[in-house]
């Protein structure tokens, strides 16, 4: 979203419409431009004993991934969200190997 | 006796002079005297302002368009989703009352000029009203808020209806704001409804129709969905800047469609002009592609499995998303 500069000066973000007069940055999607986002999500690990040694192993091998493109005019994602696009996939990793 | 008669005539002339004082005395252009506001004189009450721009008769023939427009948030532009009403009060308290030179110490000091920062878009016809209307509007907003706190549903509903009695209706777009360049194209006249054609219009109140030079142009919407802070105001402000984004980010580099193409025609919503709440708009607004995969990532000797999620988005709207 356009991050308004308070009264068009300095490094503070404006709060209400009465303070919005400049622009610090725009984090929105610009028209016609490809925007890429990448998320790296680590699998949860747990400590287990293997052959008398403590090692870290994934506590889950399947992750349910949910990506939502949400338009949030105000408040929090729980208060007044408008979910525009959604992607759901279970991502699995192998349980055996070196 | 003669002397008394003379005094009576002078009094009558003075009175007439006061009544005929134009609402926009001193305007430089030619023809502003024919506008709705100049002919009506400034509204003194909210009800008068509602009557001045009453477009209920439009529904007699343009039933579908009228019905569509009522579904759009334009029809309740002062109340909005209730958030607009609340934000106007926040603007009074955290804006006007905290600004040392605004002249506003309490909501009772608010005049039309103070509200125009909001009303230039949410109720542009407020400029055609006396300060008493600004006060009535402020009292209604606070009355509504108080009734909600007290859980007085009946009063809250009544005041909500009053706030919804004025808004961006047919006459705001098809008359008052139908011409932007008034010295070139003339001032919008009372009795004329502006659209795409010239000719007679079968209505007692609006017997003529005329082609608006901007009705199918982005600037029609840009009057409110602005460029940036309105620097001509004593206290510059502007919420929505999508017309600026349209001009400099979309039109300059991406495409040639205008607001009406997407929000009215392609969406098939007509006068039910919608944005982020309606799937007809949002389905087309952004191309969205996502993929996800997992693998055993190694950091030196440590194995840290991870999932990678890649998302690609292309905004197909004619402005940045979201716009603030």
Question: Contact B324/A71, CB-based, under 8 Å?
Answer: no
Q: What is the mean pLDDT of residues B225-251?
A: 93
Question: What percent of chain B clears pLDDT 90, i.e. is strictly above it?
Answer: 88
Going B209 to B212 to B215 to B220, the CA torsion angle's sign is negative
Nearest to A31 among B235, B293, B315 (CB): B315
Helix, strand, coil percentages, rounded to 5, for chain A:
0, 60, 40
pLDDT at B26 over 90: no
B281 contacts B263 by C-beta, under 8 angstroms: yes
Separation between Cα atoms, residue A18 and residue B177, nearest integer Å = 24
The count of residues in chain B is 324
Residues in A closer than 8 angstroms to B313, CB to CB, are 29, 34-37, 69
- Tell me whether the omega of the peptide bond preceding residue B322 falls within 30 degrees of 0, making it cis: yes
Question: Contact A32/B250, CB-based, under 8 Å?
Answer: yes
The residue ranking higher by pLDDT, B324 or B36, is B36
Q: What is the mean pLDDT of residues B54-67?
A: 96
Helices of type H across B30-178: 36-40, 46-52, 63-71, 83-90, 112-122, 131-149, 153-163, 170-171
Going A29 to A34 to A35 to A41, the CA torsion angle's sign is positive
Nearest residue in A to B254, CA atom: A32
B138 contacts B95 by C-beta, under 8 angstroms: no
Based on C-alpha coordinates, what's the Rg of chain A? 22
pLDDT band at B142 (very low <50, low <70, confident <90, very high): very high
pLDDT at B20 over 70: no
Q: What is the pLDDT of residue B218?
A: 97
Q: What is the pLDDT of residue A30?
A: 96
Our CA dihedral for A76, A82, A88, A91, rounded to 10 degrees, sits at -30
Residues in A closer than 8 angstroms to B309, CB to CB, are 38-41, 65, 67
pLDDT band at B25 (very low <50, low <70, confident <90, very high): low
pLDDT band at B131 (very low <50, low <70, confident <90, very high): very high
Nearest to B314 among A34, A56, A97 (CB): A34
Task: Tell me the per-residue pLDDT of B160-175, one tens digit each, with 9 for 90 and over.
Answer: 999 999 999 999 999 9
- For chain B, how long is the longest CA-to-CA vector? 116
Separation between Cα atoms, residue B225 and residue B44, nearest integer Å = 28
- 3-class secondary-structure state, position B188: coil
pLDDT at B57 over 70: yes
HSE (side-chain half, CA atoms, 13 Å) at B319: 26
Residues in B closer than 8 angstroms to A5, CB to CB, are none
Residues in A closer than 8 angstroms to B319, CB to CB, are 31
Chain B nearest-CA distance from A40, in A, is: 5
Q: What is the pLDDT of residue B18?
A: 41
Task: Tell me the per-residue pLDDT of B146-158, one tens digit each, with 9 for 90 and over.
Answer: 999 999 999 999 9
Q: What is the pLDDT of residue B200?
A: 98
Q: Check residue B193 and report its DSSP letter.
A: E
Task: Tell me the per-residue pLDDT of A32-89, one tens digit each, with 9 for 90 and over.
Answer: 999 999 999 999 999 999 999 998 999 999 999 999 999 988 888 888 789 999 999 9
Q: What is the pLDDT of residue B324?
A: 64
Tokens of B220: 């029609």
Q: What is the mean pLDDT of residues B268-285?
A: 94
Separation between Cα atoms, residue A58 and residue B174, nearest integer Å = 65
Question: Contact B83/A74, CB-based, under 8 Å?
Answer: yes
Q: What is the pLDDT of residue B24?
A: 58
Q: Which residue's structure tokens are 């998320």?
A: A39
Most A-contacting residue of B85, B322, B323 (CB-CB within 10 A), to test interface: B322
Q: Which residue's structure tokens are 């659209």?
A: B195
Average pLDDT, chain B: 92
Q: What is the pLDDT of residue A61?
A: 97
HSE (side-chain half, CA atoms, 13 Å) at B218: 21
> Among B317, B256, B248, which Cα is nearest to B282's?
B317
pLDDT at B1 over 70: no
Q: What is the pLDDT of residue A82?
A: 92
Question: Contact B91/A17, CB-based, under 8 Å?
Answer: yes
The residue ranking higher by pLDDT, B2 or B78, is B78
pLDDT at B14 over 50: no
């Amino acid at each position: 979203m356009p991050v308004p500069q308070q009264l068009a000066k300095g490094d503070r973000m404006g709060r209400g419409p009465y303070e919005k007069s400049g622009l610090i940055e725009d984090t929105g999607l610009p028209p016609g431009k490809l925007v890429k986002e990448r998320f790296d999500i680590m699998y949860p690990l747990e400590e287990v004993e293997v052959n008398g040694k403590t090692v870290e192993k994934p506590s889950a091998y399947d992750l349910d991934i949910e990506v939502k493109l949400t338009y949030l005019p105000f408040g929090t994602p729980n208060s007044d969200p408008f979910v525009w696009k959604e992607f759901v996939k279970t991502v699995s990793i192998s349980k055996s190997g070196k | 006796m003669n002397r008394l008669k003379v005094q009576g005539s002078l009094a009558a002339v003075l009175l007439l002079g006061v009544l005929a004082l134009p609402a926009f005395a001193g305007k430089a252009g030619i023809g502003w005297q024919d506008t709705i506001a100049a002919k009506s004189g400034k509204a003194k009450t909210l009800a008068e302002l509602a009557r001045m721009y009453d477009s209920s008769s439009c529904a007699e023939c343009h039933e579908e368009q009228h019905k569509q427009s009522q579904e759009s948030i334009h029809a309740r532009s002062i109340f909005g989703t209730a958030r607009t009403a609340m934000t106007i009060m926040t603007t009074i308290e955290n804006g006007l009352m905290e600004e040392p030179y605004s002249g506003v110490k309490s909501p009772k000091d608010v005049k039309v000029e103070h509200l125009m920062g909001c009303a230039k878009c949410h109720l542009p016809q407020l400029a055609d009203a006396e300060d008493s209307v600004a006060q009535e509007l402020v009292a209604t907003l606070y009355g509504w808020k108080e009734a909600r706190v007290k859980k007085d549903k009946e009063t809250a509903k009544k005041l909500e209806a009053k706030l919804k009695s004025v808004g961006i209706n047919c006459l705001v777009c098809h008359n008052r704001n139908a011409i932007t360049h008034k010295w070139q194209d003339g001032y919008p006249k009372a009795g004329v409804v502006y659209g795409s054609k010239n000719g007679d219009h079968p209505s007692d109140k609006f017997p003529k129709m005329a082609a608006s030079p901007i009705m199918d142009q982005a600037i029609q919407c840009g009057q409110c969905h602005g460029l940036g802070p309105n620097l001509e105001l004593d206290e510059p402000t502007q919420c929505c800047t999508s017309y600026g984004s349209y001009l400099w980010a979309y039109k300059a580099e991406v495409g040639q469609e205008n607001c009406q193409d997407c929000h009215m025609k392609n969406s098939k919503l007509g006068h039910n002009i919608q944005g982020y709440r309606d799937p007809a708009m949002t389905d087309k607004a952004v191309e969205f592609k996502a993929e996800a995969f997992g693998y055993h990532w190694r950091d030196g000797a440590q194995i840290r499995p991870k999932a990678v999620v890649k998302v690609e988005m292309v905004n197909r709207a004619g402005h940045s998303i979201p716009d603030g």
